[in-house]
Amino acid sequence: MSASPLLDSPQPIARFQTRLQARRAFAAALRPLFATPGNLTGRAPRLLRYALGRLLGTVPTLFAVITLAFLLVRLAPGGPFDQEQTLAPEVKANLDRAYGLDRPLPEQYLRYLRGLAHGDLGPSMRLRDFTVNELIAVGLPVSLTLGGLALLLAVGAGIPLGVLAALRRHRAADHLLMGLAVAGIAIPAYVTAPLFALWFGIHLRWLPVAGWEPGRPSDLVLPVVALALPTLAYLVRLVRASVLEVLSQPHVRTAEAKGLSPAVILLRHVLPPALSPVLGYLGPAAAAILTGSLVVETVFGLPGMGRFLVQGALNRDYTLVMGKVIVYAVLVIGLNLVVDLLQGLVDPRLRYPRRA
């Protein structure tokens, strides 16, 4: 009886073993997520305990942010009614009494925490027809749309360009991309945003310079690009360095020796470990985009949270500034928590720490 052609050639056997090992590793990584109730009897899943530990760790961080922001806002020079030059002392005293500013600072802090526990961020001290909750409901969708699109653009373009630069190392494409990446990191958004508005909005008249109309995507093109450029540039450099490091690892040379195609080596053996630092950078990247939106929304006249925060800081609107800071803190802490959980899911060493 003749032998099977698969057994006659060593190269198909090696490929079959590589695929089998990859499937076993993938199944082992997913096994904790689909454990049966019988296997979990007597103890909680380690992944769940890791998630709960990270979630509880965000509580003191958020509390510290709220306390520090309250003290900095209240101890800063000036007040929300000091700019009203025409106010009589009696009127100003009545306003302070109405907003509780005549109370001692610890009492004001406890009253604010009591309202915060019920989801009440208080009334705006300058925009007196609106509460802070209403202003956040107006600006938050705009900021989330702007930040989400900017992060999507940065990740969607930064990863392929970084991989391209790594695969074309020391060539013209690599030098060009690295030069543009350095320029993108060095030039901040408050410089690129006015330049984009001046060039593409005023001189070329391709896109609107300012304004916001729901359902008109052209209003978001320039703000999204200006907000995404620094993060995109940093991602290109990060992905390039990570891919080059993985390409020098022994398992990649072993895969090449087995005769695997370059596409299979890149997608299966290079990108999964190379993208782990990118996953860890998503938290700081989201924070950078959120803070950068303060300038971009002001330059392009978008009614987002950043614009309200700038106006509140200039007008010494205590409650408005506090509300915006708390929302930004919750978003940043939440995004970092999601990134931590994803890293714990991808890298078992984070959720299964070594015992001494």
- Reading the block at residue 273, the tokens are 């470990």
In a domain, 198, yes or no: yes
In a domain, 248, yes or no: yes
In a domain, 63, yes or no: no
Contacts of 352 (CB under 8 A, 6+ apart): 46
**What was the pLDDT predicted at 32?**
47
HSE, side-chain direction, 13 A CA sphere, residue 110: 5
Beta bridge partners of 123: 131
Span 339-348, mean pLDDT?
68
Report the distance separating Cα 85 and Cα 87, nearest Å: 6
Map tokens 């900017």 to a residue: 150
Q: Quick one: residue 104, left, alpha or beta (phi over 0 = left, psi -120 to 50 = alpha)?
A: beta
Span 64-87, mean pLDDT?
78
Read off the amino acid at residue 128: R
Residue 170 burial by Cβ neighbours in a 10 Å radius (0-12, 13-18, 19+): exposed
Closest by CA position to 323, among listed 48, 139, 78: 139
CATH number at residue 299: 1.10.3720.10
In a domain, 114, yes or no: no
Domain membership of residue 310 as a residue range:
141-348
More confident residue, 175 or 336: 175
Span 218-246, mean pLDDT?
89
Residue 176 confidence class, pLDDT cut points 50, 70, 90 = very high
Read off the amino acid at residue 147: G
Look over the chain and give the mean of its residue pLDDT values, rounded to a whole number: 78
Other Cβ atoms closer than 10 A to 330: 13
In a domain, 260, yes or no: yes
More confident residue, 87 or 66: 66
Distances, alpha carbon 145 to alpha carbons 33, 106, 298, in Å? 32, 37, 16
Q: Long-range pairs for 164-167 at CB < 8 Å and ≥24 separation?
A: 165/236, 165/239, 165/240, 166/239, 166/240, 166/243, 166/244, 166/247, 167/243, 167/266
In a domain, 265, yes or no: yes
**What was the pLDDT predicted at 269?**
79
Pick the most confident of 27-31, 329-333, 336-340.
329-333
In a domain, 22, yes or no: no
- Reading the block at residue 58, the tokens are 């965000």
Beta bridge partners of 131: 123
**Is the CB of residue 5 less than 8 Å from the CB of residue 16?**
no
Report the distance separating Cα 24 and Cα 167, nearest Å: 29
Span 326-337, mean pLDDT?
84
More confident residue, 346 or 158: 158
Distances, alpha carbon 238 to alpha carbons 37, 189, 276, 342, in Å? 41, 20, 11, 19
pLDDT tens digits, 78-94? 777 766 566 667 777 77
**Is the CB of residue 325 less than 8 Å from the CB of residue 333?**
no
Indicate the number of domains in the chain: 1
**What was the pLDDT predicted at 27?**
52
Report the distance separating Cα 239 and Cα 140, nearest Å: 31
Map tokens 């992944």 to a residue: 47
In a domain, 105, yes or no: no
